[in-house]
A and B are shown apart, each in its own frame.
Chain A
Amino acid sequence: MEDHISQLFDLIASKAYRSLTNEEKAFVDQHISPEEYEMQRSIIASTEELEYPDAIPLALETPPVSQPILMRTIPLYQVLIGAACLLVGFFLFSGKKALDVNFSGDPFNISVQHNSPVIQVIHDTVFKSLPLLKSTSAALSNMSYVIDTVYVLNEQYAANTRMLDASVPSLNLKLNESLVQSSGLSAKDDKSTTLLPKSQEFTMK
């Protein structure tokens, strides 16, 4: 079938009906009428006379050229903003470790990783060692703080090794505290001297 159509097409494109041989006419007549044959030729010829707008193509709008990211230029302010963000991030996060709190279930036993920068655990009870009379200045410097409960350590005085051996067992804690709070006045002006025993034991004869 396609061969016949192809042959018909070739004949229509090349010869008028009256120019066909008898064999060709017989072949054509088997498929289409002579009028249709000529009409097809007329239509093909008439296409030459069809008129279409003669427009001029518009200029090509080429897409913007996209450069690789390393080849692109960026404004200076973006560089400065980026550098500032880097610096801020560096100072915020440098040297700080993540918080590592271990809740073991015991509310009184919460451990925090050593040198944790965020939380400092303040226990409910703080033990304080009061400075004693015999304490040295170094002992005073180790003073702690009491928040809730204070345990006062009553400690026996050490054996008096002083030559004069004041032997004043009644010299109690009140005197000690007064001595601690001494403002550095002379003995004459210090009220705490009234608590001292007035005996001749201290008088040098």
Chain B
Amino acid sequence: MAGGARQETKLHCWMKAKIVITPKKAVVDPQGKTVQNALAQMGYAGIGAVHVGKYLEVELAGTDLEAARRQIDDACHRLLSNPVIEDYRFDLEPT
């Protein structure tokens, strides 16, 4: 960081977004397949398809759930997921 230490900003966050990102069905998911095979080899019965994705928690200031929802949806679309290869869903809750 140019100019020394990053300034710590302490926000009072009253909301939390819990975001789940998963690979799209059409995209090969070798991680999921490998985990699936491992579970089957361990002897777990009836293991179907496994999909490996990502989980993010984002804390948010303010109390306007609707505005926060729009913001998180935008962020998921632009940065947190890649719409070419991933789907996302999220829950937003007051903390």
Indicate, yes or no, whether A interacts with B: no
> Which B positions have Cβ atoms within 8 angstroms of A?
none
